[in-house]
């Protein structure tokens, strides 16, 4: 079994120096290439024998939506007004009362600086959503090529369309409603590179469908609940409908396959899931925002990591990942190796929450909207 040092490049998962040592080296690049070698797999068995995947494919075909016509892009977005309103709500403040800001630069901040932080944070968050969705687009195209089952190829082709639409809507929202872009976060970028560089088809599923998409689904849900901006709320509601199917696709596809793997093969997947979880947690420290705000990044992150309220927020982002890992058998194989690691991360309490293999129909907002329109 590998150590934290071997998996993460550091023994202490909270080592700030090691976290900050991960930086982008090509912020100004227009493209980024990931070297890989994998087999593109034809299958001559055209029988759709996996009923859950057939059902998911049929649902995907009737749940497509058009970003240009189904969203009201005429809505005006005033970031400063939204930031000021958020400052009045305790759940929207960047630091909670558990952090003592006395003696820090933040103690001297006025309203203008807190508003600027809120605006930069929104620009950063939506930028990372956009970059993550492009990662999902590339990974799903990979799944179409590599998965050996025809029913999985059919469904993955619909997801590729979904992911293209998600990149489109986040890019349009950033370009026309917000006030700036951020390059991809270095921790997210490394994770996407690792997923794409692995030649095994099931690791593409695990890294993207279970880990990245699972966390994104929870993050979208949290933002949808918190935001008062109607266009973003509508956009997120539609994206969540798709994302729930995508995560379910991963769960339904891997459940059969992982039941056949040896302990050594499963340990490899457990270690990868742990590495992905830590990288995603690290990306939410949003170190690029602090740098743009002109504050000492290490000092700011020390406060962020000590904030119990923010820890609760970060932990709940794993509420989709942990039950799905449990359903795949990843938590408890090899004497509960991943269970122990998720306990150290403080997220194991979500293991009995509903898994997305059963949840996606409840989140199908596109069908709900169409049924409501037909009824009226």
Query: Is residue 178 within 8 Å of 77, Cβ to Cβ?
Result: yes
Length of the chain: 376
- Of 86-95, 259-268, 343-352, give the lowest mean pLDDT range: 86-95
Model pLDDT for residues 17-57, shown as the tens digit of each residue: 999 999 988 778 889 999 888 999 999 999 999 999 999 99
**pLDDT above 70 as % of the chain:** 93
Torsion, CA 203, CA 205, CA 211, CA 216, rounded to 10: 150
d(CA 340, CA 346): 10
Please tell me the predicted confidence (pLDDT) of residue 361.
Answer: 66
d(CA 76, CA 126): 17
Residue the block writes with tokens 């270095």: 186
Model pLDDT for residues 233-247, shown as the tens digit of each residue: 999 999 999 999 999
Is 139 or 365 the better-scoring residue by pLDDT?
A: 139
Please tell me the predicted confidence (pLDDT) of residue 88.
Answer: 76
Query: Is residue 81 within 8 Å of 88, Cβ to Cβ?
Result: no
Structure tokens that stand for 67 in this block: 């970003």
SS3 content of the chain, % helix, strand, coil (to 5): 70, 0, 30
**Cβ-based burial of 360 (10 A; exposed 0-12, middle 13-18, buried ≥19):** buried
| Overall average pLDDT of the 163-171 stretch | 98
Domains and CATH numbers, the chain: 49-63+77-93+100-375 (1.10.620.20)
Torsion sign (Cα): 229, 234, 239, 243: positive
pLDDT tier, 64 (very low <50, low <70, confident <90, very high otherwise): very high
Please tell me the predicted confidence (pLDDT) of residue 98.
Answer: 83
Model pLDDT for residues 308-364, shown as the tens digit of each residue: 888 888 888 999 999 999 999 999 999 999 999 999 999 999 999 877 656 666 667
């Amino acid at each position: 079994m590998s150590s934290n040092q071997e998996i993460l490049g550091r023994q202490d998962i909270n080592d700030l120096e090691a976290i900050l040592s991960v930086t982008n080296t090509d912020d100004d690049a227009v493209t980024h290439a990931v070297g890989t070698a994998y087999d593109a797999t034809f299958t001559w068995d055209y029988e759709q024998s996996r009923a859950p995947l057939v059902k998911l494919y049929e649902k995907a075909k009737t749940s497509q939506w058009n970003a240009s016509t189904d969203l009201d892009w005429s809505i005006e977005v005033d970031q400063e007004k939204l930031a000021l309103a958020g400052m009045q709500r305790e759940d929207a403040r960047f630091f909670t009362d558990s952090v003592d800001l006395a003696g820090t630069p933040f103690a001297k901040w006025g309203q203008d600086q807190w508003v600027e932080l809120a605006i930069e944070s929104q620009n950063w968050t939506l930028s990372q959503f956009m970059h993550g969705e492009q990662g999902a687009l590339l990974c799903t195209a990979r799944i179409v090529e590599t998965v050996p089952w025809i029913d999985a190829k059919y469904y993955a082709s619909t997801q590729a369309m979904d992911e293209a639409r998600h990149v489109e809507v986040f890019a349009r929202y950033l370009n026309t409603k917000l006030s700036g872009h951020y390059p991809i976060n270095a921790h997210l970028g490394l994770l996407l590179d690792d997923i794409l560089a692995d030649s095994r088809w099931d690791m593409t599923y695990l890294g993207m469908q279970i880990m990245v998409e699972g966390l994104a689904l929870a993050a979208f849900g949290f933002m949808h609940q918190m935001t008062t901006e109607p266009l973003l709320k509508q956009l997120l509601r539609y994206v969540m409908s798709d994302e729930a199917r995508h995560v379910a696709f991963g769960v339904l596809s891997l459940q059969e396959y992982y039941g056949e793997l040896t302990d050594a093969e499963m340990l490899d997947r457990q270690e990868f899931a742990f590495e992905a979880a830590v990288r995603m947690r690290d990306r939410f420290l949003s170190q690029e925002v602090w740098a743009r705000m002109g504050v000492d990044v290490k000092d700011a992150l020390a406060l962020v990591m000590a904030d119990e309220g923010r820890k609760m927020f970060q932990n709940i982002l794993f509420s989709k990942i942990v039950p799905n890992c449990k359903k795949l058998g990843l938590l408890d194989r090899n004497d509960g190796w991943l269970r122990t690691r998720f306990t150290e991360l403080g997220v194991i309490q979500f293991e009995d929450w509903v898994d997305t293999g059963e949840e996606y129909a409840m989140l199908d907002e596109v069908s709900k909207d169409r049924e409501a329109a037909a009824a009226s």
